[in-house]
Amino acid sequence: MAYVAATTFLCAILPASAVTWTVNAQPGRLVNGGPVLFQVKAPAKLESLTGKWLDHQLTFGYSPATKTWFALAGVSIETAPGRYALDLVGMSASKTTLNFTRSFAVAKTKYPQIKVELTVEKKFTEPNPEQQAQAAEGVKTKQEYLNRVTPAREWNGNFKAPADAAISDVFGSQRIFNGKAQSPHQGLDYRVPTGTPVLAMNDGTVLLARPLYFEGNFVVIDHGQGLETLYLHLSEFKVTEGDSVKRGQEIGLSGGTGRATGPHLHVAVRWQGTYLDPARLLQLPLP
């Protein structure tokens, strides 16, 4: 069972007899590279609640059943240990603005420094001018689409693994292609043969479903609140851009397209431009 950090505060602009602020964070220990679920109970009935966390804007959803506001967020892998403020701004039904701030500790975690020599086609490490142009077009496409943030929540409940298979490489590991060190691994690799069904990790809308130079056949699902899941190296698409999908729905078949050393499924989680550890998201209990 996940430990939940919870703190209750009196609202500065209301009398002590009033209902208090309650701010929860899951998991209880926040780390660099990890997702976080913020849950808030306000001291008055609110029409909306927004926040700011690590220079990112948050839009909270509301659960009438628990009378709780909630938002998914994250901590980048580059974030240094320390305390960081969550700034909240609520608009009450009477059009009164309520402000509140609480700081949360972020700890540093060690991700595996697995150095594995991998060999890929030379066109991915030393592309010719035509291939460079193809790669640049892929970068442009990602910049155009992946930076779109949908404030409204589409995800519903816990995230589900995209395949029932062993994990061959983890988030944060160091990889070497043709003797050249790459940036830390930004996702999970599942050891699956070509043609294995790939499932949506949660409800959302298909933002991208097209081939890109490095990613190969590439699907991106927008889950709302700035959260996206990315599925790379597919052999076949089962969805098109704009489709609404449900958790567990087949969105493609695994493969080895793009910059891949062989058939496998690479999955990444991206929150407002920040890559998060998918394994930690899969372990996070969500409303």
**Mean pLDDT (10-residue bins), the chain, 287 residues:** 44 47 96 97 94 96 94 96 98 92 95 66 71 76 81 94 93 70 82 97 97 94 96 98 97 93 94 95 95
- Model pTM? 0.86
- Domain identity same for 59 and 148: no
Residue 105 and residue 57 in contact, taking contact as beta carbons nearer than 8 Å: no
Instruction: Give the pLDDT score at 154.
Output: 95
Specify the pLDDT at position 10. Answer: 41
How large is the greatest C-alpha to C-alpha distance in the chain, in angstroms? 70
The pLDDT assigned to 115 comes to 60
200 shares a domain with 102: no
Tokens of 30: 């926040």
Backbone phi, then psi, for 12, in 5-degree steps?
A: -65, -25
Residues 255 and 123 in one domain: yes
| Phi, then psi, of 129 in degrees rounded to 5 | -55, -40
Say if residue 124 is in the same domain as residue 241. yes
Instruction: Write down the pLDDT at residue 83.
Output: 98
Q: What is the CA radius of gyration of the chain?
A: 21
pLDDT at 6: 47
Which helix (H) or strand (E) is 216 found in, with range?
strand 216-224
pLDDT for res 143: 81
The residue ranges of DSSP E strands in 64-200, in sequence order, are 68-74, 82-92, 97-107, 116-118, 167-169, 175-177, 180-181, 188-190, 197-199
Domain that holds residue 249: 116-283
3-state secondary structure of 123: helix
The count of domains in the chain is: 2
Distance between CA atoms of residues 148 and 146, nearest Å = 5
- Whether residues 171 and 79 share a domain: the answer is no
- Residues 120 and 101 placed together within one structural domain of the fold: no
- Quote the CA–CA distance of 103 and 205 in Å, as a whole number: 33
CATH number at residue 73: 2.60.40.1930
Q: Are residues 151 and 251 in the same domain?
A: yes
- Amino acid identity, position 283: Q
- Residue 127 has what pLDDT? 73
160 and 275 together in one domain: yes
Same domain assignment for residues 30 and 122: no
**Domain end position, chosen among 64, 86, 107:** 107
Q: What pLDDT is attached to residue 153?
A: 93
Query: Are 141 and 258 members of one domain?
Result: yes
